[in-house]
Chains A and B, each alone.
Chain A
Amino acid sequence: MTRTKDSIAKAFASAGYIADEGLLTAVLLMEVLARPLLLEGEAGVGKTEVAKALAASEGTDLIRLQCFEGLDRSDALYEWNYQRQLLAIKAHEGQGDPDALESAIFSERYLLQRPLLAAIRSPRPVVLLIDEVDRADEEFEAFLLEVLSDYQVSIPELGTIPATSIPRVVLTSNGTRELSDALRRRCLYHYVDYPDVGREAEILRARVPGIDTAFALQIAELMSRLRKEDLAKVPGVAETIDWAAALTGLGGTHLARDRELVFDTLACVLKTREDRSRITREVTDRLIGKVA
């Protein structure tokens, strides 16, 4: 074990991510057991941020594969640059050795690396983020499982390409589709919840320059109460950060004293018309009253 939880916590904090105990353990275990980490949780709790923080804390690159419905191997792994190949064939038509031409057009020069291939061929280990894996189809999930267990890829024209380095893999899921047990079993699991008030205040202090400690705590407290209201779209951590930045930027220092400002800037956290009309002036006042 080269790293400890404390050192990971420090590195994460300097990358602007305040991690809790469970996540630190999971990150440590990723290294010890060489397993991918599956993060689940509501949208906006900062799952993607974990991967970014991990890359930043290790000083490596982050390679991101955004999943979507219909994503297939050629989007994720590699593709031949067909246009350039065709041009090369045309250019060499009638001259030279056809075998040489063939091996020339199926070579590195014409290979387009997609995120998965780029991740395992990087000279030093990168962090590979497979974002919203639940959006991809089941077939793709099965394929992913294969790549993640062997860390090698076979390209018919080039043969098997073993990994130059094993990436640290972070998968995120919003739970729009049930993932397979096989994938879940291969991964370490962490459920990312909305941070508690203390941690959210810390996040604000780390991410919003110049914010007052007491004010950060007030905002975090208000957010935790707001999330308990009957909302169509519960605001995430990113919204809190935006809002805190807006409030401080407009000169706010205390929620109860800047009621007008608070109500006017609610647009930072409430993103649907329904929610906007539900959190009226009275509701805002009630929430602020509880915080102060």
Chain B
Amino acid sequence: MSQTAASQTAASQTAAFEPGPALRLTLAAFVALLRDKGFRIGPSEAADAGRLVTGAAGQRAATLRPALKALFCGRRSDWVAFDALFDAHFLRKGMKNAVTLAGSAGESGGARTLKQMQDDQAARRSSPALDVSREAEAPEAGEEDPAGTREGASRAENLAETDFRKIRDPELEAEAHRLAERLALVMRRRLTRRDRILSAGPRLDLRRTLRKSVARGGLPLDLVRKGPKLRQLRLVVLLDASGSMNNYTGVFVRFVHGLLDAFRQADAFLVHTRLVHVSSALKERDAARALDRLGLMAQGVGGGTRIGAALADFNRWHAARLLTSRSCVIILSDGYDTGPAEEIGAEMARLARRCRRIVWLNPLIGSDGYAPVAAGMAAALPHVDLFAPAHNLKSLAALEPYLAKV
């Protein structure tokens, strides 16, 4: 906790840059603080740091900072956060701010900016005590209830065909969520399997061919060929979280969480008035925790959608990094949009050029008499490879064979 770190700093403040046991204590407290903030620091790094501070480099903050920074940071987010933490700990600058930020994360109400949400999220990650209280409040936390897992097969089947809109019973809803997640897990497992060694292929694998020839007295009769590894499917999911999608978002989020959890090459975005990258939240192992984090990122969900603008954002900032020729973009949306339809058309065209397939899942297709007449939907349609219903679990399951072919 940052508070304890602060008090430790205060205690050892006077001795901060004199080599010796006091400095080593300060360093240990610093390592604890960084670990708290999500830095991955192993014992060997800590030991190396100890060697550094007792050596010549430990004398001045100016030399110590870049050295510890290089040693303790592992990724860009660490890199960005490090200086402030170092100052707070060793030079006692800005510590007050850090503490109040962590303390204020509990109250979140009203409209918030994305920046605020990210700040809150960062602060929350650093305060486990807060997490516990939040998870206890969250309704999803009750789902681990063992009684809930004993569902009958027929009931599950029925549930699979029920329109998400018609699920009113919270218990049934929880069950639908679980099924969606399990379905996603099964799909993920099948989709990530890959083959490497081929019986016929372009390049001879001499190493394996010779290995096999041992049984034939050294004559290379069985030829083994090496093909390019089948590259994994990359998934990008854009989930519409506007007001009109309210009835579906819950179950879709669980479905997407199931897909993303441990799926290496998948990313998810929430689309409402703007685009929010939610992969990190959804890659959280624990579903309840993921939803909790997602909730923080998605404040302001339920308003109008501007799909066109969100797609433009995606094309501009994320497409180059996330899309390859093996990418499949899944858009989960009813296509009701408050922006100009031409924008959707143009952005969909750009998107279509960059990825293998675009799947648009529309929960409205399930209802009788639906036609994609909404201007936005009509403009997007020419660029969509698969336009499919997604109003119940069965329709989600039907997606798998299609994805497997990408």
A residues lining the B interface (CB < 8 Å): 1, 21-22, 24-26, 29, 32-33, 35, 37-38, 40, 69-70, 74, 79-80, 82-83, 89, 137-138, 175-177, 181, 184-185, 187-191, 230, 232
Q: How far is the CB of A43 from chain B (nearest CB, A)?
A: 10
B residues lining the A interface (CB < 8 Å): 40-42, 45, 48, 51-52, 55-56, 63, 66-67, 69-71, 73-76, 78-79, 206-207, 210, 218, 228-229, 231, 264-265, 316, 320-321
Q: Give which listed residue, A82, A137, A175, A188, contacts B206 with CB less than 8 A.
A: A82
* Closest residue on chain B to residue A70 by CB atoms: B229
Interchain CB contact under 8 A, A185 and B41: yes
Q: Give which listed residue, B40, B41, B320, contacts A232 with CB less than 8 A.
A: B320
Interface centre among B55, B70, B74 (most CB of A within 10 A): B70
Q: How far is the CB of B312 from chain A (nearest CB, A)?
A: 11
Q: Give which listed residue, A1, A79, A175, A190, contacts B207 with CB less than 8 A.
A: A79
Interchain CB contact under 8 A, A22 and B71: no
Interchain CB contact under 8 A, A25 and B73: no
Q: Give which listed residue, B210, B228, B265, contacts A70 with CB less than 8 A.
A: B228
With known contacts A1-B56, A189-B79, A191-B76, A29–B70 Cβ distance under 8 A: yes
Rounded to whole angstroms, the CA-CA distance of A207 and B80 in the bound complex is 30
A-B contacts, 26 listed (Cβ < 8 Å):
A22-B69, A22-B70, A25-B69, A25-B70, A26-B66, A29-B71, A32-B52, A33-B71, A70-B229, A82-B210, A89-B218, A137-B229, A138-B264, A175-B76, A177-B265, A181-B40, A184-B40, A184-B75, A185-B45, A185-B74, A188-B70, A189-B69, A189-B74, A189-B78, A189-B79, A190-B70
Rounded to whole angstroms, the CA-CA distance of A32 and B316 in the bound complex is 43
The dominant DSSP class at the B interface is: helix
| A-B pair number, CB within 8 angstroms | 76
Q: In the complex, which residues of chain B have a beta carbon less than 8 angstroms from the beta carbon of A188?
A: 70-71
Q: In the complex, which residues of chain A have a beta carbon less than 8 angstroms from the beta carbon of B63?
A: 25
Q: How far is the CB of B309 from chain A (nearest CB, A)?
A: 15
Interchain CB contact under 8 A, B321 and A40: no
Given contacts A1-B56, A24-B66, A191-B73, 12 further A-B contacts (CB under 8 A): A25-B63, A26-B66, A29-B67, A35-B71, A70-B229, A184-B40, A185-B40, A185-B42, A185-B45, A187-B74, A189-B74, A190-B70
Interface centre among B42, B74, B218 (most CB of A within 10 A): B74
* Closest residue on chain A to residue B72 by CB atoms: A189
Interface centre among B63, B79, B218 (most CB of A within 10 A): B79
Interchain CB contact under 8 A, B66 and A40: no
* Closest residue on chain B to residue A193 by CB atoms: B79
Interface centre among B52, B63, B71, B264 (most CB of A within 10 A): B71
Q: In the complex, which residues of chain B have a beta carbon less than 8 angstroms from the beta carbon of A29?
A: 52, 67, 70-71
Q: In the complex, which residues of chain A have a beta carbon less than 8 angstroms from the beta carbon of B264?
A: 138, 177
Rounded to whole angstroms, the CA-CA distance of A89 and B56 in the bound complex is 60
With known contacts A175-B76, A189-B79, A74–B66 Cβ distance under 8 A: no
Rounded to whole angstroms, the CA-CA distance of A138 and B42 in the bound complex is 21
Q: In the complex, which residues of chain A have a beta carbon less than 8 angstroms from the beta carbon of B316?
A: 230
Interchain CB contact under 8 A, A189 and B40: no
Q: How far is the CB of A181 from chain B (nearest CB, A)?
A: 5
Q: In the complex, which residues of chain A have a beta carbon less than 8 angstroms from the beta carbon of B206?
A: 82-83
Interchain CB contact under 8 A, B79 and A191: yes
Rounded to whole angstroms, the CA-CA distance of A187 and B228 in the bound complex is 30
Q: In the complex, which residues of chain B have a beta carbon less than 8 angstroms from the beta carbon of A21?
A: 66
* Closest residue on chain B to residue A21 by CB atoms: B66
Interchain CB contact under 8 A, A181 and B74: yes
Interface centre among B42, B55, B66, B229 (most CB of A within 10 A): B66
* Closest residue on chain B to residue A41 by CB atoms: B76
* Closest residue on chain B to residue A37 by CB atoms: B70
Q: In the complex, which residues of chain B have a beta carbon less than 8 angstroms from the beta carbon of A138?
A: 264
> What are the 4 A-B residue pairs with the smallest beta carbon separation, nearest first?
A184-B74, A25-B66, A26-B70, A82-B206
Rounded to whole angstroms, the CA-CA distance of A185 and B72 in the bound complex is 8
Q: How far is the CB of B192 from chain A (nearest CB, A)?
A: 12
Q: Give which listed residue, B76, B79, B218, B229, contacts A69 with CB less than 8 A.
A: B229
Q: In the complex, which residues of chain B have a beta carbon less than 8 angstroms from the beta carbon of A83?
A: 206
With known contacts A82-B206, A82-B210, A176-B321, A40–B70 Cβ distance under 8 A: no
* Closest residue on chain B to residue A27 by CB atoms: B70
Interchain CB contact under 8 A, B70 and A189: yes
Q: Give which listed residue, A26, A40, A176, A181, contacts B76 with CB less than 8 A.
A: A40
Q: How far is the CB of A178 from chain B (nearest CB, A)?
A: 8
Q: In the complex, which residues of chain B have a beta carbon less than 8 angstroms from the beta carbon of A1?
A: 55-56
Q: In the complex, which residues of chain A have a beta carbon less than 8 angstroms from the beta carbon of B228?
A: 70
Interchain CB contact under 8 A, B75 and A189: yes
Q: In the complex, which residues of chain B have a beta carbon less than 8 angstroms from the beta carbon of A26?
A: 66, 70
Q: In the complex, which residues of chain A have a beta carbon less than 8 angstroms from the beta carbon of B55?
A: 1, 32
Rounded to whole angstroms, the CA-CA distance of A38 and B69 in the bound complex is 12
* Closest residue on chain A to residue B321 by CB atoms: A176
Q: In the complex, which residues of chain A have a beta carbon less than 8 angstroms from the beta carbon of B69?
A: 22, 25, 189
* Closest residue on chain A to residue B42 by CB atoms: A185
* Closest residue on chain A to residue B209 by CB atoms: A82
With known contacts A26-B70, A181-B40, A189-B79, A74–B321 Cβ distance under 8 A: no
Q: How far is the CB of B38 from chain A (nearest CB, A)?
A: 11
Q: In the complex, which residues of chain B have a beta carbon less than 8 angstroms from the beta carbon of A177?
A: 264-265
Q: How far is the CB of B306 from chain A (nearest CB, A)?
A: 19
* Closest residue on chain A to residue B265 by CB atoms: A177
Rounded to whole angstroms, the CA-CA distance of A83 and B41 in the bound complex is 47
Rounded to whole angstroms, the CA-CA distance of A25 and B73 in the bound complex is 14
Rounded to whole angstroms, the CA-CA distance of A37 and B70 in the bound complex is 9
Q: In the complex, which residues of chain B have a beta carbon less than 8 angstroms from the beta carbon of A22?
A: 66, 69-70
Interchain CB contact under 8 A, B207 and A189: no
Interface centre among B51, B75, B265, B316 (most CB of A within 10 A): B75
Q: In the complex, which residues of chain B have a beta carbon less than 8 angstroms from the beta carbon of A187?
A: 74
